[in-house]
Amino acid sequence: KQEVTQIPAALSVPEGENLVLNCSFTDSAIYNLQWFRQDPGKGLTSLLLIQSSQREQTSGRLNASLDKSSGRSTLYIAASQPGDSATYLCAALPLYSSNTGKLIFGQGTTLQVKP
């Protein structure tokens, strides 16, 4: 059974700092790994999706990497801004979920970027 872990649960950085959020998963048999952002009281917004055959994806100041062999994904945020403050969740789509489409979510890392 796939398990997804995000450490740390919370992170506080000063504005302008480059930072890395970590996501680990126990089973490398995945279709894709997705990173989401959740603002308080809001739904999840899809940030990046990395397919199993890919190593990384980039969108603006965000770069997500995937290393299936080590069971790790990272989300790199360059030049962080106070507007980046939110909870970031990663989710894996296991191969055994091909029928259900069920994502396995981590618990999230709550990021605070201080001005």
Which residues neighbour 58 within 8 Å (Cβ) at sequence distance 6 or greater? Answer: 48, 64
Q: How many residues bind other proteins (CB under 8 A)?
A: 26
Cα distance between residue 2 and residue 16, in whole Å: 35
Given 44, 62, 63, 96, the residue binding other proteins (CB under 8 A): 44
Q: Does 107 bind other proteins (CB under 8 A)?
A: yes
Q: Does 45 bind other proteins (CB under 8 A)?
A: yes
Please state the φ and ψ torsions of residue 61, each to the nearest 5 degrees: -85, 5
Min. distance of Cβ 17 from other proteins in angstroms? 27
Nearer to other proteins, 71 or 94 (CB): 94
Please state the φ and ψ torsions of residue 10, each to the nearest 5 degrees: -145, 150
Residues 11, 110 contacting (CB under 8 angstroms): yes
What does the binding site for other proteins look like in residue numbers (CB under 8 A)? Answer: 31-32, 34, 36, 41-46, 49, 51-52, 89, 91, 93, 98-103, 105-108
